[in-house]
Amino acid sequence: MRRILLAPLDPVHDIGLKLIARGLSAAGYATLLLPPDLTTEEIIEQALQYNPAVLLLSRTLGYGVAENLARMVDLADAAGLRDNMKIGVGGMAIRSELAAELGFDAGFGQGTSVEQVVCFIEGTEYNPEVLRSGKTKRNLTDGYDYAWRHAGIAAKIDRITDQIIDWASRRTSPGVERAKLRDAAWDVDLWRARMGVGDFYQHYAPLCGELPANFYADGQLHPKTRRFSQQEVDGLEQYLAETKLRMSVQSLQHKRPGPLVFNQYGTGCPFMDIGHILASEAWGADGVIHFDPSWGARTEGLLDGFLTHQEDGTVITPANLNRIQRALEPSTLWQVRAHRGLNTPETVVLAGKIGADLTKINICYGSLAAGTDPARMTIDGYHAILYAKQYGMPFDVVTNEELSGVPAHKAFAGMLIVAGLARKLGARPILQPLFACSPEVMINGLMEDNYIDFNAAKIIALRAILNAPLWPGAPVGFLTHTEDRVQSAMTTALHACLAATLNVDAVSIASTDEAYSGGPISAPAKIDTLRAVQEGFRFFGRAGIAPTDQAQVFADQLVDGIEKTLTSVLACGDFVAALHAGCLGSREEGANPGRAGKDTVKSKTTI
């Protein structure tokens, strides 16, 4: 059994060394831990008597400490100990470079693992990748049977979704036709092999609006976009090749398996996005979400080419998505949002072909708070759900209309209609309630005491209605963030921890730039919240956050409000009419039926 002598040079602090000693004993080494505050001479005397294979010292670096450490090395040399004994030093602020300068065989900083020390003792290479959790992709919908748990709500949604399916069976739109063409005639394998896509664009361009039509006619780009140069592309390839060699991914979760943590990217530039994604992955994000420009949702048709954009949101093109997909770590879940505009079904098709894991669809949000005509959003959303099923992509049903002022019970009724429709069509929806201090919350004082009860109530209510995965977002803590990075990281972490203790499946988190509007989000701001969430998960472990009794009161009110909202939708007799009538969010509440794509829905016989 190899002997290890451990000696704290620090006058008081020896906790780190105690932990290492305990770990080495468990690993089968004979250890002798000396008391603190011995002189260097006394430690050398002990080493001569104990004859260890390795001497491990610990010391927090401070004034004059480097000289003491160097003296220890000199004395060990003089005593002839170095021939058969290695010396390592560890502690706060100790770095391997400094340890080597002082003559030690190794230096260990804060957070050193027992495995790292064992590798030093045994003279083997320390490979943290072997020891890190092997992250693998997880399907958020596994284990959910989508069984209704509330008979009254289930019956109403059954009738509403039957009406939607009947309505959709007789209609189409330019977006639906482009999606059909993309699905049938755009071969991703041929495209990736640079073998062309046949006459796809001859049929595609006539289905597009002015901007993409001009692009396909004579190469005109959107004024805020440009193509990358070959030199830039070569630079990206080199950057990626070098970074991938060093790449590893952390896990944020501690004792709980979840929730998975997603953050969003979309600086406008796919290169910067890739840099941000790599940072997110390295610092623990389980998934990333593609954020496209707002004009993309109001444009009939997608552009092509490897394009960078000067403003917020990264343009959806096959080349942009493909480059980003190729840069992802194998464990990273990739969501491409399709939820709100005129390219919803085609975006789902393209994302599916390129290899996305998840998408995002919500007919109600897209119609009431994102500017798309309700009829157009309904027919496009219906087909998007079918394509999501075809390409094996679960999708979240976001409820961001709450941010416009729509009460949670109405936004949830809309979400449950879309989820019920997806359930009926065989797709895999994920419920996405907001964890937010929304206008409804502010006006009615629902979070005057705490941010816990109303958010917890949403989870309690949804679980009482449908057995489906839950993914609060987007991002958690919406409208509680300020520009102060400490406050912002704190509120994100606390909301993520609330989600964790409620055992939800995933969360979307913001960066600490969430409330800053003066420029793009920075990479350090993304790392801030990932570190904060990781520390939060570590703090709570399997322990819980206890809502007050008010959470159940709120939950009961939500369930009651959802059922009443569905009754009003049924009374309208038509889902699209109900969207216009304000059943799922009225103008007074802040919802405004969109106009993009108005009058573009056609009977199947007339197109």
Of positions 279, 415, 496, 584, contacts another protein by CB under 8 A: 279
Residue 30 contacts another protein per CB under 8 A? no
Give the single-character DSSP code of 255. S
Of 130 and 546, CB closest to another protein: 130
CB of residue 244 to another protein, shortest distance in Å: 8
CB of residue 153 to another protein, shortest distance in Å: 46
Of 250 and 552, CB closest to another protein: 250
Of 97 and 218, CB closest to another protein: 97
Candidates 159-167, 238-246, 565-573, 596-604; binding stretch for another protein (CB under 8 A)? 238-246
CB of residue 591 to another protein, shortest distance in Å: 39
Of positions 134, 524, 541, 544, contacts another protein by CB under 8 A: 524
Of 278 and 379, CB closest to another protein: 278
Of 234 and 242, CB closest to another protein: 242
Of positions 278, 496, 502, 559, contacts another protein by CB under 8 A: 278
CB of residue 539 to another protein, shortest distance in Å: 19
DSSP 508-534: EE--TTTT--SSPPPHHHHHHHHHHHH
Q: Is residue 334 within a helix (H) or strand (E), and if so which, with residue range?
A: strand 333-337
Beta strands at 225-227 and 307-309: parallel, antiparallel or unpaired: antiparallel
Give the single-character DSSP code of 199. T
Task: List 3's β-bridge partners, or say none.
Answer: 30
- Strand, helix or coil at 46? helix
CB of residue 559 to another protein, shortest distance in Å: 44
Q: How far is CA 446 from CA 83, 91, 98, 250, 590, in A?
A: 71, 48, 55, 36, 18
What's the angle, vertex CA 238, arms to CA 236 and CA 239, rounded to 5? 65
Candidates 386-394, 433-441, 517-525, 552-560; binding stretch for another protein (CB under 8 A)? 517-525
Q: Return the amino acid letter for 527.
A: I
Of 260 and 279, CB closest to another protein: 279
CB of residue 245 to another protein, shortest distance in Å: 8
Residue 527 contacts another protein per CB under 8 A? yes
Residue 133 contacts another protein per CB under 8 A? no
Contact 526, 264 (CB under 8 A): no
Of 278 and 579, CB closest to another protein: 278
Residue 242 contacts another protein per CB under 8 A? yes
- Phi/psi at 442 (nearest 5 deg)? -70, -45
Contact 54, 86 (CB under 8 A): yes
Residue 460: name the closest of 149, 59, 62, 126 by CA.
Answer: 149
Beta strands at 602-603 and 171-172: parallel, antiparallel or unpaired: antiparallel
Of 75 and 523, CB closest to another protein: 523
For the four alpha carbons of 524, 527, 533 and 534, in that order, the dihedral sign comes to negative
Of 185 and 282, CB closest to another protein: 282
Give dist(CA 351, CA 63) in Å, integer.
57
Residue 275 contacts another protein per CB under 8 A? yes
CB of residue 105 to another protein, shortest distance in Å: 18
Residue 185 contacts another protein per CB under 8 A? no
Give dist(CA 529, CA 107) in Å, integer.
30
Q: How far is CA 509 from CA 77, 108, 264, 288, in A?
A: 53, 33, 8, 10
Of positions 119, 479, 515, 523, contacts another protein by CB under 8 A: 523
The token pair that represents 191 in the structure block: 């495209």
CB atoms within 10 A of CB 133: 10
Of positions 120, 148, 262, 283, contacts another protein by CB under 8 A: 283
Of 37 and 242, CB closest to another protein: 242
Q: Please, which residues have CB within 8 angstroms of residue 434's CB and are 6 or more apart in sequence?
A: 399, 400, 402, 403, 408, 411, 458, 472, 473, 474, 478
Of 372 and 534, CB closest to another protein: 534
Residue 417: name the closest of 261, 595, 568 by CA.
Answer: 568
Contact 125, 115 (CB under 8 A): no
Residue 113 contacts another protein per CB under 8 A? no
Give dist(CA 332, CA 231) in Å, integer.
28
Q: Is residue 57 within a helix (H) or strand (E), and if so which, with residue range?
A: strand 54-58
Give dist(CA 6, CA 10) in Å, integer.
12
Candidates 237-245, 491-499, 567-575, 579-587; binding stretch for another protein (CB under 8 A)? 237-245
Candidates 32-40, 158-166, 275-283, 389-397; binding stretch for another protein (CB under 8 A)? 275-283
Of 283 and 382, CB closest to another protein: 283
DSSP 572-602: HSSHHHHHHHTTTS-TTTT-----BTTT--E
The count of chain residues that interact with another protein, using the rule CB under 8 A, is 19
CB of residue 249 to another protein, shortest distance in Å: 8
CB of residue 173 to another protein, shortest distance in Å: 42
Contact 43, 33 (CB under 8 A): no
Half-sphere exposure of 383 (CA within 13 A, CB side): 28
Of positions 68, 139, 214, 243, contacts another protein by CB under 8 A: 243
| Site for another protein, residues 245 to 264, rule: CB under 8 A | 246-248, 250
Candidates 208-216, 348-356, 358-366, 516-524; binding stretch for another protein (CB under 8 A)? 516-524
Candidates 314-322, 469-477, 523-531, 592-600; binding stretch for another protein (CB under 8 A)? 523-531
Candidates 19-27, 401-409, 460-468, 519-527; binding stretch for another protein (CB under 8 A)? 519-527
Contact 174, 207 (CB under 8 A): yes
Residue located via tokens 């216009």: 580
Candidates 244-252, 378-386, 501-509, 588-596; binding stretch for another protein (CB under 8 A)? 244-252
Of positions 12, 28, 97, 124, contacts another protein by CB under 8 A: 97
Q: How far is CA 545 from CA 125, 494, 500, in A?
A: 42, 10, 9
CB of residue 90 to another protein, shortest distance in Å: 16
Q: Which residues bind another protein (CB under 8 A)?
A: 95, 97, 239, 242-244, 246-248, 250, 275, 278-279, 282-283, 522-524, 527
